[in-house]
Amino acid sequence: MSLVTRCSNCGTSFKVLPGQLSARSGRVRCGKCDAVFDGIAGLVEDGHAPVRVEPSPQLGLFDPSRQAPPRVEQVAGDDDEPLPAFMAEPRAPRRAVWTSLTALALLALFAQLAYYFRAELAASVPAARAPLQALCGYLNCEVRLPRLVKLLSIDSYEVRADPRREGVIILNAVIRNRAPFPQEYPALQLTLTDEANRQLVSRAISPREYLDAARGPQLIGRGIYPGAETSLTVYFDASRTRATGYELVLFYPS
């Protein structure tokens, strides 16, 4: 026996079997206006005025595992009437869900990049330094000046003997910052070698050693300005070696 239920929103009526209507406590979705209504409460009783029953080729029993509108099926033993498709609960739009998940993933990615490159970001966008410092207050991190050694260069350097003190050599060098933002002053590694280019002695020189003692803390705090250079002179005791060559490289301590 077929029953007739009517959509409470648009008034469209559909044929339905009792067993189909009892699924999901009678909650169904109209195939015409897509509204969810109580199919049991919408039953059209005998004795009412005749109603026009429209076919429902796009309806199917509610099944949350289905990914597309269900097909029309045949019901054996009931004059082969088409099976109306009902959905008991409205499903959240997939596009909105994926859009939200994508936005969250991008936000997390940007947050990671901002944390990892916080020094470069603060140097390139001065207005971002204060928010980044406030964030580091919670994350127990520090917003330092950038330390991109590949954007630093030694424009010139020489090592020569000190004419006034035997066994002492003098290192003169010029360091240039080729980055478009300030950077930390780097450390230097001076290595003395023999005739066979074997290492005899090596010494690391920190910024506090080669910067002017009076202005050192101030200079270290502001870093090397973009495109700026700094000259340095360092004395090195080489009295216990017979060095014939040398090498100078820049680095940032870990």
Chain-wide mean pLDDT for the chain? 77
Per-residue confidence band for 113, with pLDDT thresholds at 50, 70 and 90: confident
Q: What is the pLDDT of residue 132?
A: 78
Boundaries of every domain in the chain: 1-90, 94-139, 149-251
> Do 17 and 86 contact (CB within 8 A), yes or no?
no
Higher pLDDT, 247 or 55: 247
Give the predicted TM-score (pTM) of the model. Answer: 0.49
Q: Is the pLDDT of residue 207 over 70?
A: yes
Q: Rank 33-47, 50-64, 82-96, 163-177 by mean pLDDT and report only the highest.
A: 163-177
Average pLDDT over residues 56-73: 40
What's the rounded Cα separation, in Å, for the pair 171 and 210? 10
Q: Is the pLDDT of residue 68 over 60?
A: no
Q: Rank 58-67, 115-124, 136-145, 241-250 by mean pLDDT and report only the highest.
A: 241-250
Q: Which of 29-38, 67-76, 163-172 has the lowest mean pLDDT?
A: 67-76
Q: Which residues of 176-193 are buried (b: 16+ CB within 10 A; e: fewer)?
A: bbbbebbbbbbbbebebb
What's the rounded Cα separation, in Å, for the pair 156 and 75? 91
Provide the 3-class DSSP secondary structure of residue 160.
strand
What's the rounded Cα separation, in Å, for the pair 52 and 38? 19
Q: Is the pLDDT of residue 163 over 60?
A: yes
What's the rounded Cα separation, in Å, for the pair 183 and 120? 9
What's the rounded Cα separation, in Å, for the pair 129 and 142? 11
Q: What is the pLDDT of residue 60?
A: 41
Per-residue confidence band for 6, with pLDDT thresholds at 50, 70 and 90: confident
Instruction: Say which residue the tokens 């099944």 belong to.
Output: 63
**CATH number, span 149-251:** 2.70.50.60
Average pLDDT over residues 35-50: 70
Higher pLDDT, 222 or 84: 222
C-alpha 170, offset from chain centre: 48
Q: Which of 85-94, 96-105, 153-162, 210-219 has the lowest mean pLDDT?
A: 85-94
